[in-house]
Amino acid sequence: MSIIVKIDKSRFPNLSRGSFEDREYHFKGGIVGQRVEIKVRGKKSKKAKLLNIIERSDIEIESQCPHSEKCGGCSYQTLSYEEELKYKKELIENLFKENGIEREMEIIPSPVHKNYRNKMEYTFGDEYKGGPLSLGLHVKNRFHEIINTTDCKIVDEDFNTIREEVRTYFEDLGEVQYNRKRHEGFLRHLLIRKATKTGEIMILLSTSSQSQLDEEAFIKFLLDLDLKGQIVSIYHVKNDALSDAIVPEEIKLIYGKDHIEEEVLGLRFKISPFSFFQTNTKSAEVLYKMAREKIDAKDKLVFDLYSGTGTITQVLAESAKKVIGVEIVEEAVEAARENAKLNGIDNVEFIASDVLKVLDDLDKNPDLIVLDPPREGINPKAIDKIIDFDPEKFLYISCNPVTLVRDLGVFKERSYEIEELEIVDQFPKTSHAECITLISRID
């Protein structure tokens, strides 16, 4: 059954509520003030699926993106950036208020809100069954349909050029996309990474093993493209796994070096195909600078838990006595160690392990602990052990305010309080945001 409702409330992240005949329905997407068509999931269910926007909200403007109606990548292309910041700020403040934390927060805008993404993973497919080859993002609410994102507003401009040229190249060759239902076809994904400061570009093509790639011709075609940056690394991945993801069953570097180099706050970082790095380099610099300024690490022992490729570890190492980073992804730890060597930093140590497992082996007493966990937040089994180290302060950087507010409740129970809490808009035009929280022990 489909019905039309007016969105009267939204919750972070981008979850809406509307009423029909005295019954309240909840669904993903939408903006407060819109009249929308939704499909109810069952006779007694309050859950629904957003189908169409019937009438825009008063706070919306004309979208600058030609794909915003169909593409599932962005949530707020119809809001001015100023309005988007206000909207996100209110949603996050309400989330904290609902969980007993009532405070005014500042939202730090991104230095750039267009063409900022330095990494993109595209999928080969078709926009409709039996249609021509497409390469782009999934159509909203339609997993098997792929939209050609010819003029995406949030990716680096070179990405739009590479995406379209690669699509045309394979269409002219007559190569077909991998069908995720029948598990037939050749072309699967295209991954592009670009270092904002150096302009170095990495390209990774993922295919099945059901055809052959003329590597020499593909390399020449890519190097002949007219780009602002420079392609310095090209990979070919063969992937016959059933999941719709880039699974490097067989990975081959077919051109150039095995990484690109980025620069953040004067430090150099090698980025490999699958290593984690913030997708908005300029905003990441703002975030890391804030982290450095919020805590006095001078001559102190710092634990950086969930350290990734060691970006924050090295930023803090410039003044700290020593920083110990813990990260479960071994490839990220290897990259972190290499990056430390690259920057001539020798007062860091990286441990490749699950944070939960390594806590019992860390017999040192840190002065400060930095936490930058994945979207699911801190493992509930680990959080008490982390607090048991009893440092004077924690700095908690979170890409998911929902799990952050949950974890902050545990810190409160353990006699810690929020000293500072700010929102950093790392992901303009999307429903996501980063939070940075300084937590202090109550003496």
CA–CA dist 390, 412 (Å, integer): 13
Buried (b) or exposed (e) across 17-35, using 16+ Cβ within 10 A?
bbeeeeeebebebbbbebb
E strand or H helix at 369:
strand 368-371
Q: What is the DSSP letter of 238?
A: E
264 touches 284 (CB < 8 A): yes
Query: Is 399 assigned a catalytic role?
Result: yes
Residues at the annotated binding site for S-adenosyl-L-methionine? 278, 306, 327, 372
Residue 247 burial by CB count (10 A; 0-12/13-18/19+): exposed, middle or buried?
middle
Tracing tokens 């930093």 back to the chain, one arrives at 345
Helix (H, G, I), strand (E, B) or coil at 200: strand
Q: Which is the catalytic residue, given 71, 152, 399, 435?
A: 399
| DSSP codes, 292-333 | HHHS--TT-EEEEES-TTSHHHHHHHTTSSEEEEEES-HHHH
Tokens of 126: 């078709």
CA 394, distance to chain mean position in Å, is: 23
Tokens of 395: 């700095």
What count of other Cβ atoms lies within 10 Å of the Cβ of residue 110? 22
Single out the residue of 354, 272, 278, 360 nearest to residue 315, CA to CA: 278
Residues at the annotated binding site? 278, 306, 327, 372
CA 29, distance to chain mean position in Å, is: 18
The residues that are catalytic are: 399
